[in-house]
Amino acid sequence: MTGQVRVRAAPPSPEPNNQDVFIWALYLLGGADRDIDVEAVYLKSFELAPARLGWRTRPDLPDYKKTAKALQSVEAKTHVGLVQKSGAYFRRLTAEGARWVEQYRVALEAAYSGKAPVAAASTNEHQKRRRSLKESRAFEAWVSGDGLELLDLADALDCTGASPASVWRARVTEVRRAADVLQDEELATFSEQVHQFLSTQVGGYA
């Protein structure tokens, strides 16, 4: 990576726009906690803003060119750092993305939903993830100062040493999300050090 990515911090646009709709749709579908197929996000985006994302002559039909263009803009320009690519057809919110949505949730809900959003993963799920991780050999070694080992991390994060970078990124995002929800500073520090370690050990991760 040639430089530090500038993650979007600005609030949602005061005027409706397709990029904010995409981010909100991804969150409503549970994208703070799991990978979501982009086609599902396209359909949810259309449901939230049919007048913006429908055909000109058939406003009852979703225009996938518009939703796909919104995704391209989100990733390249308007909401950089808030969405993580998990293979060609799946996206999820990064930890920063989930925090951004939850910070501006009232504004997004008022602009696009008018009703309560679908709940993200329960606190119990994050607690189970934290408990499993803190009982792992990788976490215990890190706490004791012995450093990180790729195979131990693979076991702790439910993947393998040969898993592609996209899988490793998804697992680290899950740990960051748990740390955020549970306000666990130790877990947050661990996730950041794992991120740095994987940047040097897994091709294509950085």
Sorted by sequence, the CB contacts under 8 Å of residue 76 that are 6+ apart come out as none
Q: CB–CB of 146/50 below 8 Å?
A: no
Kindly report, residue by residue over 125-180, the tens digit of the pLDDT: 888 889 999 999 999 999 999 989 999 999 999 998 888 888 898 889 989 988 98
CATH 1.10.10 positions along the chain are: 18-112
Residue 65: which of 24, 13, 18 has the closest Cα?
Answer: 18
Sorted by sequence, the CB contacts under 8 Å of residue 140 that are 6+ apart come out as none
Q: CB–CB of 70/45 below 8 Å?
A: yes
* CATH (residue range 18-112): 1.10.10
CA atoms within 13 A on the CB side of 196: 7
Residue 26: which of 40, 8, 13, 11 has the closest Cα?
Answer: 40
Residue 98: which of 118, 74, 82 has the closest Cα?
Answer: 82
pLDDT of residue 118: 44
Query: Amino acid identity of 49?
Result: A
Kindly report, residue by residue over 18-51, the tens digit of the pLDDT: 999 999 999 999 999 999 999 999 999 999 998 8
| Distances, alpha carbon 197 to alpha carbons 46, 155, 157, 162, 201, in Å | 40, 15, 14, 15, 6
Tell me how far the alpha carbon of residue 27 is from its chain's centroid: 9
Q: CB–CB of 11/101 below 8 Å?
A: no
Sorted by sequence, the CB contacts under 8 Å of residue 125 that are 6+ apart come out as 33
Q: Is 115 left (phi over 0), alpha (psi -120 to 50) or beta?
A: beta
pLDDT at 17 over 60: yes
Arithmetic mean of pLDDT over the chain: 88
The phi, psi pair for 26, rounded to 5°, reads: -60, -40
